[in-house]
Chains A and B, each alone.
Chain A
Amino acid sequence: MDTLLRLEDLTMHYKTKAGWVQAIDNVSFSLHRGQSLGLVGESGCGKTSVAMSIMRLLPYNAKLVKGRVLFGGHDLYTLSDEEVRQLRWKEVAMIFQAAMNSLNPVYSVGNQIVEAIVTHEPETGEDEARERVKSLFELVGIPKERMDHYPHEYSGGMKQRAVIAMALACNPSLIIADEPTTALDVIVQDKILREIEEIRRTINMSMIYISHDVSVIAEVSDIVGVMYAGRLLELGPADDVFKRPKNPYTYSLMNAYPSILGEKHDLVTIPGEPPNLLDPPTGCRFHPRCDWATKECREVEPAWREITKGHYLACHNPVRTEHGTAHNKTARRAPGKGGDGIGTSGGN
């Protein structure tokens, strides 16, 4: 398998009046063609910033401090604006967090997709592009007569599908889906996720899913990256990470979500809040909220290392299967609920 995308020690800061916000810190991962990566983490942990770095669509106050983004052989941050513009959508497309608002209200939906096609493939005629939009609409399940309608005439689910159709318009090698289904109800959400997955597998496209919802990520990702406060804490094959989480944060995150198929367990919230990235904690950034933090965690930044094949971790004191029970004893429980069911869905 060849590598499509590689982030090497990506470090990106935002300049604000209060100082530099360390939004992304030493994030490294690589993604093969046809593979799907899920980035999971709490709000504000830098998931969207990573996506925007890959698109090179950062706001004006962002500064790339260190690291590289390699995409299909290009080092994105050494290319000119024009070269990057040509790569966008043709190679990397995006499904935005607010799909509802990512369509221009004054042009018809079909024309917005035609526009993308004609911009990147000037040799394609307009009629040909319209034909392609029709087949894309069929693919995502919108009646093709609707292509000349305006966004406000679409329902929420249809807009979401239209945005997906738009992302597929130029057959990109990679689609970044930033919270693609957060605004939808659970049934539509599930349906759309399945459809995206089906399309992805058929055309062997890579995908990065970004979500705070562990269940969404679990459903669609081959590999999973867990982000916290601008850092990757754990990354590995989805099965590995979810069944045998090594980082206490991953572990807590999973206990904070209900599992429909697994055994019933009490939901355990993670106490505290993500840190202020203007002045992140020393050592491991998760240590103030971690029940198993040691002196080393507070002082020394944990190294990013491969623990088993393809499974990376940054933690001084990882969760071990045998001491998973020990962890359970100290884990805080939801008030009023007892029992030793905590972690049974993911702790062993």
Chain B
Amino acid sequence: MRRYVFGRLGQVILTLLIYVTLVYFLLQAMPGDITMMYLSNPKIPQAAREELKKQLGLDQSLFMQYVSYMKNFFRGELGVSFSQYPKPVWDILMEKLPRTFVLFLTANVFSFYVGFVMGKVIAWRRGKVIDYAATVVGITFWTAFYPLLALVVIWIFAYNLKWLPLNQFIDPRLWSAAPFTANQVFGNMVYGAAIIGIGIFFIFYYLLRGLKPSRRSRAQAWALACALIAAVLFVAARKGMLIYIWDITRHMILPVFTLTLINFAGTMLLMRDSMLETVQEDYVMAARAKGLPDKVVRDRYAARTALLPTVTSLVLSLASSMSGGMVTETMFSWPGLGQTLFAAALSNDYPLATGALAFTGIFLLIAHFIADILYAVLDPRITYTGQSGV
């Protein structure tokens, strides 16, 4: 296992290198450069423009620029943004990253969970009304034009019903007197979510692996999970952050809802298909013959083994949501990585655009890496010994 993990890490780094190279040259292939921004300004003389190019290092050959960029990249130095000069790219990304991360991770987890549960239910009751209804509704949203759907959702819930805020990720009136910056709160939300997530994973890991059939241990696991969540919330309350966390959460509801609406059908249909195969398996029939309750047969036998392909889809949906993030962030005025990337690309801000894309890539590679590890956890038949070449 360890050998596998290290080998896989090596692959991740190699892929990252190729990816950043591609991104770098693709962005450079865009017409013009930062100095073109000043082209229409007749007051800037040609000499000053040349001087600017020289200062930014754009007068060197493309290859030399690339070499120096890569050298810096692997030292964690992403350069300085052209359009927000002299702010370092790293600082800009670190400011935006948590917002994007929290929003899309939440949206993905939600749409995955909704899709998984619905897929499970409709596969179990295939051919019934609920099967057709869920499929039609799911496909309708899946094929809807996303920006329009987002506008409709905003129009209904924020404009007409006024249940939720229109846009942005914080309410400026509340935050003017806040003792923290939004990013501190965000950071804490990420830590909190990570602690809860990892904690719950370990609590249920035991159950997932071992299939403890008794309800007692299941109830214990739930109790532990609830205690963990309560503890994290308590710490947040002690710090006086709860109201700010609630504000951010409120702003997240609409984008997460919209993303879930549009994405859940993918997971649902995949889960349905995958489970239609597993319900035919002999061990599902055997489980029914064993006199296990219907729900147990569905969840622990049919759905449990159908989970694997769906986990792949979770990873892939992380990928698509990172690129689709630009639309979401624009529609909901969410000041995150997607918006930053969009603005950087428009203004020929190579370092910022490359940096933002590189981060998207790093996310993806990490997601794939985690998916591979998850496979081994979910399916005991998969073992990474390193020798067998599985």
Contacts and interface: CB of A to CB of B under 8 A. Distances in A.
Interface of A: 55, 57, 81, 85-90, 93-94, 96-98, 101-108, 111-112, 114-116, 118-120, 126, 150, 152, 166
B290 A119 contact: yes
Given A106-B304, A114-B213, A115-B213, 16 more contacts: A57-B289, A81-B294, A88-B290, A89-B290, A96-B282, A101-B282, A102-B282, A102-B285, A104-B283, A104-B301, A104-B304, A105-B283, A108-B380, A118-B213, A118-B214, A166-B290
A89 B211 contact: no
Chain B interface SS verdict (over half): helix
9 contacts: A89-B289, A93-B289, A102-B283, A104-B305, A106-B304, A108-B211, A111-B213, A115-B290, A126-B212
B75 interface: no
A115 B292 contact: yes
B46 to A, nearest CB: 70
A57 B283 contact: no
B281 A87 contact: no
B42 interface: no
A116 B283 CA distance: 13
A132 to B, nearest CB: 14
A86 B214 CA distance: 17
Contact of A96 (B212, B285, B291): B285
A105 B282 contact: no
A94 B282 CA distance: 12
A182 B285 CA distance: 19
A104 B287 contact: yes
Interface in B28-42: none
Contacts of B212: 111, 126
Given A103-B286, A105-B283, A126 B293 contact: no
Interface in B255-302: 281-283, 285-294, 296, 300-301
Interface string B143-177: 00000000000000000000000000000000000
B239 interface: no
Contacts of A126: 212-214
Given A57-B289, A119-B291, A107 B282 contact: no
B49 to A, nearest CB: 65
A89 B289 CA distance: 7
Nearest to A118: B213
B213 A101 contact: no
B379 interface: yes
Contacts of B287: 104
B43 interface: no
Given A108-B211, A114-B213, A120-B291, A96 B286 contact: yes
A150 B286 contact: no
Closest 8 CB pairs of A and B: A88-B291, A102-B286, A101-B282, A115-B213, A107-B211, A89-B291, A150-B380, A104-B283
Contacts, number: 90
B213 A106 contact: no
B23 interface: no
B290 A152 contact: no
Contact of A101 (B210, B214, B283): B283
B381 interface: yes
Interface string B301-324: 100110000000000000000000
B310 to A, nearest CB: 14
Nearest to B126: A60
B44 to A, nearest CB: 67
B326 interface: no
B27 interface: no
Contacts of A106: 304-305, 378-381
Interface string B193-221: 00000000000000000111110000000
A89 B287 CA distance: 10
A103 B116 CA distance: 24
Contacts of A105: 283, 305, 379-381
B291 A87 contact: yes
B174 to A, nearest CB: 48
A186 to B, nearest CB: 23
Contacts of B290: 88-89, 115-116, 119, 166
Contacts of B292: 85, 115-116, 119
Contacts of A114: 213
B289 to A, nearest CB: 5
A119 B283 CA distance: 17
Nearest to A114: B213
A152 to B, nearest CB: 5
Contact of A57 (B211, B285, B380): B285
Interface string B209-242: 0111110000000000000000000000000000
A199 B291 CA distance: 23
A126 to B, nearest CB: 5
A264 to B, nearest CB: 39
A21 to B, nearest CB: 19
A85 B296 CA distance: 12
Contact of B210 (A57, A86, A108): A108
A104 B283 CA distance: 5
B209 to A, nearest CB: 9
B293 A85 contact: yes
Contacts of B213: 111, 114-115, 118-119, 126
Interface in B367-390: 378-381
Contacts of B211: 107-108, 111-112, 115
A170 to B, nearest CB: 9
A105 B285 CA distance: 14
Nearest to B288: A57
Interface string B339-379: 00000000000000000000000000000000000000011
A84 to B, nearest CB: 8
Given A105-B380, A106-B305, A106-B378, A88 B289 contact: yes
B381 A152 contact: yes
Nearest to B217: A126
B210 A111 contact: yes
B5 to A, nearest CB: 22
